[in-house]
Amino acid sequence: MITKYKNGSIRATGNDANEIVKALRGDYKVESFNQKYCVGDTVRVIDDLGNEFIDKVKYPASILGGHTAVAWLEGKGSYLIERVIGKVE
């Protein structure tokens, strides 16, 4: 159950609480990424300066530090999942 309070805070219990934690951690992003990309896929990635580069998926995506959804790349290590913009065919 989710309870919304007048001060803007919320309280979640039971399954709703678990779903909120998964969403905040990025579990759904990781699941979606791993369904779309496989280890060994060549992908396009945007770096911090907006430049595009090509790399390969080294490991399945995961949650880093308990809160950040990352893709693991052969050449660059971990990158935010949002920075992977597609496969190179």
- 17 within a domain of the structure (yes/no): yes
Joined together, the tokens standing for residue 83 give 């920075």
- Helix (H) or strand (E) run with residue 26 in it: none
Mean pLDDT by 10 residues, the chain (89 residues): 68 70 72 94 96 97 88 94 93
Residue 19 located in a structural domain: yes
pTM: 0.74
The answer to whether residue 3 is domain-embedded is no
* pLDDT for the residue 66: 79
Distances (CA, A) of 82 to 13, 15, 25, 26, 32: 29, 27, 14, 11, 11
What is the domain range of residue 67? 9-87
- For the chain, the domain total comes to 1
Residue-level pLDDT at 65: 85
Dihedral (CA of 88, 79, 83, 26) sign:
positive
Q: Measured between alpha carbons, how far is 47 from 86 in angstroms, rounded to an integer?
A: 14
Residue 2 in any domain: the answer is: no
